Amino acid sequence: MRMTRQIKIGGVKIGGGAPISIQSMAKTDTRDVSGTARQIKELAKAGCEIIRVAVKDFEAAEAIRAIKRRINLPLVADIHFDYRLALRAIENGADKIRLNPGNIYKEDEIREVIKLAKKRKIPIRVGANSGSIRDRVKSKWQRANGKEQRAKDLVESVLGYIKVLERMDFYDIIVSLKASDVISTVEAYKLFSKKSRYPLHLGVTAAGAVSTGVVKSSIGIGALLLDGIGDTIRVSLTGDPIEEVIAAKNILQALGLRNFGPEVISCPTCGRCQVDLQDIVEKIESGVKSQVAGCMTRVTSCKIAIMGCEVNGPGEAKEADIGIACGKGSGVIFKKGKIIKRVKEKDIVKELLKNI
Ligand code: SF4
């Protein structure tokens, strides 16, 4: 893992070996305090650890104070175009500010924000997006017309911005370099990580609807995490933000970086399968979720294998902590590699859940 400088957002540590944290963004109008707080609480319950809200006007910046009273997550204010919104958000208790180098770039304005962030001891994310990269850089990008140049331009835009912050002795910085295509995003983060030790917020921006967005994000974020790059992640989806959190948890768990409860593996089924495996898997997954909600510590670090027949079934079931290899209307349950029981199809879910 790439060792980065550690910063803190509220009580959550980012970088420097801290667990990779999960972020999401509220999709409500921030001025709607109750609606926004309600959505943040739902996201927290799903596993979100840092929440960002859009601050599009002064009313939204003021709402941060009331929202913070109702939630327990560190809150990040997302600022574009007007640096005074950042000032107002910080005054109202934001735990971090996200500034976009593409639309807040005047040095005297940045200085004002840094002065207050230093006083309140909060970090700033320099969040560059390919969609709002500055014209000066963009013209070069358009000439170059290549993904490699797009990544370089994102990195250049962020490094230039960081210099301004460092000139003011401000180092509580976190960085994101998001493009809407996976390759430019991965290239930009890789390039940046060779040049700087600031912690990285990973994401593929404007990734699309849930089905395509999860794939793009998993590839982009996953490729970087596999290389040891990344300190916090946000999966961006056009859809329910809970899906963003679920996808982020699945990415981290699939890579063995975090553990959010038992891992269920199951075969895709084929003509050999003689039970309703889809129904069994769905019931086990929802049963496991309620067990995790009830008693997290007892059920973590557990692999459950649910296999449709004797081809790969016994092998996978033996390797898992608990597994089943199904046959015709029945199944054999394995626990820690040993057969413990043969059960009828109707009892599979109950028996598996009992043994987790
Ligand atoms: Fe088919 Fe059996 Fe493989 Fe499942 S384990 S996909 S049922 S061969």
Over residues 69-94, the pLDDT tens digits come to 999 999 999 999 999 999 999 999 99
Half-sphere exposure for 280 (CA within 13 Å, toward CB)? 33
Nearest atom (ligand 1) to Cα of 273: 7
Assess whether the C-beta atom of 50 lies below 6 angstroms from ligand 1: no
Assess whether the C-beta atom of 268 lies below 6 angstroms from ligand 1: yes
Amino acid present at 53: V
Q: Which two tokens stand for residue 286?
A: 């929802």
Residues in the chain: 356
pLDDT reported for residue 297: 47
Domain boundaries, the chain: 7-254, 263-355
Name which residue sits closest to atom 6 of ligand 1, judged by CA.
Answer: 269
CA 323 to ligand 1 centroid distance, Å: 14
How far apart CA 88 and CA 17 sit, in angstroms, is: 32
Instruction: Choose between 138 and 319: higher pLDDT.
Output: 319
Q: Which two tokens stand for residue 160?
A: 């230039």
The answer to whether the beta carbons of residues 165 and 186 sit under 8 Å apart is no
Mean per-residue pLDDT of the chain: 92
Over residues 189-229, the pLDDT tens digits come to 999 999 999 999 999 988 889 999 999 999 999 999 999 99
How far apart CA 214 and CA 208 sit, in angstroms, is: 8
Nearest atom (ligand 1) to Cα of 270: 1
Architecture of domain 263-355: 2-Layer Sandwich (3.30)
7-254: CATH class: alpha beta
Nearest atom (ligand 1) to Cα of 267: 4
Sign of CA dihedral 168, 171, 173, 175: positive
Percent with pLDDT over 70 in the chain? 93
Q: Which of 194, 184, 187, 162 is nearest to 2 (CA)?
A: 194
Strand partners, 166: none
Assess whether the C-beta atom of 313 lies below 6 angstroms from ligand 1: yes
Is a pLDDT exceeding 60 seen at residue 64? Answer: yes
Contacts of 3 (CB under 8 A, 6+ apart): 16, 17, 197
Assess whether the C-beta atom of 314 lies below 6 angstroms from ligand 1: no
| Residue 69, SS3 per DSSP | helix
How far apart CA 242 and CA 94 sit, in angstroms, is: 22
Assess whether the C-beta atom of 309 lies below 6 angstroms from ligand 1: yes
